[in-house]
A and B are shown apart, each in its own frame.
Chain A
Amino acid sequence: MNKIFETPLYAYSRSPDQESEVAVRHKIVIVGAGPIGLAAAIDLAQNDIPVVVLDDNDKVSSGSRAICFAKRPLEILDRLGCGDAMVDKGVEWDLGKVFFKEREIYQFNFLAETGSKRPAFINLQQYYFEEYLVARVRELQAEGKAIEIRGGNKVSAIGVHDDHVVLEIDTSEGPYNIETDWLIACDGANSTTRQMMGMDFGGRVFEDHFLVADVIMEADFPTERWFWFDPPFNRGQSALLHKQPDNVWRIDFQLGWDIDREEELKPENIDKHLRAMLGAEVEYELEWSSIYTFQCRRMEQFHKGRVIFAGDAAHQVSPFGARGANSGIQDTDNLIWKLKLVLEGSAPESLLDSYDYERIHGADENIVNSTRSTDFITPNSEMSRVLRDAVLDLAEEHDFARPLVNSGRLSVPCTYDDSPLNTADGLDGPEISRPGSTCPDAPFGDGFLLNELGDKFVLLTIDADAPELVEEDGIAVTRLEISAKDDTSGAIRRRYLGNEPTAVYLIRPDQHVAARRPNYNENLMRAAIRRATGKE
């Protein structure tokens, strides 16, 4: 079968840079055309900043890898022009079932609040995700944007200077050098950039193995997430079943620590696991399989001078909770507007310190959540297993024990409480839109609020007067005017006003709230804009 992940999407072709006697200087180079590198590149190109992406490969991710994408990343992908493709192809789901030993012990519903454009989750193979990102790159190229992917380009050495970085690149036609003002390293969990710079990647490795099998089959399992603790077909271990588009099913088997990896990966052994679970007669085709161990690690700092790390290169979490790609997209969402202001000279380079602050906060939140899930799924002592099983036994009968069951806490957007860019909350408004949070979506006119916010600074006024445009030291903030009278669904009132009659929000280009007040105050707003751009 001709799979998308077997087709070269950005085959090597010779670049004029390879003919040049002196190394050609670029503004921004990204290492890695995984989902995070591509998202960063698209964001830059949409902002008319030229970018070159280097990848040692020429294809999308092999096998599904990430399959579960949460609402916030989908909203960001809307801004990057890929949201519709993702959601149209993806499968939506909201029901989870938990099994313990022979029994189904309970079900739970991830019922998302209504009144936002994007669902709580979709399942979609990572190769589709990357394919849509590449298609978007091609679209931007057709519009004349300076965005380029160079496949078959492996970064083999870097030289870091105060105001630029030199890259040595290996190709099938030999090596060449380029220079760049800024380097964004999105080269994955085994980041060569990180290693070449000798930067640390500390954390925890869990002593367990998981077999992931993506299986194509006609099956009448519903579109739900099924998780088994200690099932009869995988005694003492756990298992997961989850649906992807095109009749592809993700099946995970926990295997334990003491295994022979080579042996377990043989198709006949995978077949044994699958038949034990699905029945002896099942007909299926194995699309992809892999065995992995879990790690939860991150870098101490996410940027050093002109080199910035994002995605798995900067942090790695265990897959339970689907937080890897989901959080990497939030890295670039956080980074690109800041980098743009720094490049334009309208914000100091120190604005990038807030990238570290905010995204390390995000990474730590993900690491705590993934670590707790992993500790629950793979108890690491006799007593932690006794307690875990007690929770599961109680959960069947008693509602109180269900929140303790942890088969993965799925990705939710990160709120940057205490960020240096926030102005102290000046509104007695709803929690969910306090400074630092992502703007909650709401129906607006014929569409949705987040699409209106876009990727620039916005002054959102709800029944409050304000100028149409505020300019403060190179930063332009445009007003978006809303009246509670037009808010027929009541979502804007619930999410932005609470009991207050009026509100004014300063919203960052990544759609996070920087400041809010009941009304517009010139001096306070200018101070908030300065603060949100690293000038106070």
Chain B
Amino acid sequence: MSDLILTTNIDHADDFYAALLGAHEGLSKADSDALNARLVLILANHIGDNDILSKAIDAAKSSG
């Protein structure tokens, strides 16, 4: 069983981050929220593993 990865894992982190910001550029708050929600759902499905997903939810909740 694999674990939630919380160490560096994206090769070109700056590129990814720029792409994420780019996707939101020019969007209203409502459209941005909707985009984030769709993105979360797509990524969650890609991960697929309920155990990892609930660890990810916990990790997100505890760093806010």
Contacts and interface: CB of A to CB of B under 8 A. Distances in A.
Contacts of A398: 42
Contact of A391 (B30, B33, B41): B41
A404 B37 contact: no
A394 B38 CA distance: 7
A386 B37 contact: yes
B33 A394 contact: no
Contacts of B45: 400-401
Chain B CB count within 10 A is highest, among A383, A386, A393, A394, for A386
A386 B41 contact: no
B34 interface: yes
Contacts of B40: 387, 390
Interface string A377-409: 000000100110111011000101100100000
A404 B41 contact: yes
Contacts of B42: 394, 398, 400
Nearest to A391: B41
Majority secondary structure of chain B interface residues (helix, strand, loop or mixed): helix
A401 B38 CA distance: 10
A394 B30 CA distance: 16
Contacts of A387: 37, 40-41
B57 to A, nearest CB: 13
B32 to A, nearest CB: 10
A405 to B, nearest CB: 11
A390 B34 CA distance: 6
Interface residues of A, number: 12
Contacts of B37: 386-387, 389-390
A398 B41 CA distance: 11
Nearest to A388: B37
Nearest to A403: B45
Interface string B16-47: 00000000000000100110011011100100
Nearest to B39: A390
A401 B41 contact: yes
Nearest to B45: A400
Contacts of B30: 386
Nearest to B48: A400
A398 B34 CA distance: 16
Contacts of B34: 386, 389-390, 393
A105 to B, nearest CB: 14
A400 B43 CA distance: 11
A396 to B, nearest CB: 11
A393 B41 CA distance: 11
Interface in A391-436: 391, 393-394, 398, 400-401, 404
Contacts of B38: 390, 393-394
A383 B40 CA distance: 13
Nearest to A401: B41
Contacts of A394: 38, 41-42
A401 B42 CA distance: 8
Nearest to B38: A390
A386 B37 CA distance: 7
Contacts of A383: 33
Contacts of A389: 34, 37
A393 B37 CA distance: 10
A522 to B, nearest CB: 43
A387 B38 CA distance: 7
Contacts of A400: 42, 45
Interface in B5-24: none
Interface in A352-388: 383, 386-387
B23 to A, nearest CB: 14
B45 to A, nearest CB: 4
Chain A CB count within 10 A is highest, among B41, B42, B45, for B41
Chain A CB count within 10 A is highest, among B34, B37, B45, for B37
5 contacts: A386-B33, A387-B37, A389-B34, A390-B40, A394-B41
When A and B form their complex, which 6 residue pairs have the shortest distance between CB atoms, in order from nearest? A390-B37, A400-B45, A390-B38, A386-B33, A387-B37, A386-B37
Interface of A: 383, 386-387, 389-391, 393-394, 398, 400-401, 404
Given A387-B41, A391-B41, A394-B38, 8 more contacts: A386-B33, A386-B34, A387-B37, A393-B34, A393-B38, A394-B41, A398-B42, A404-B41
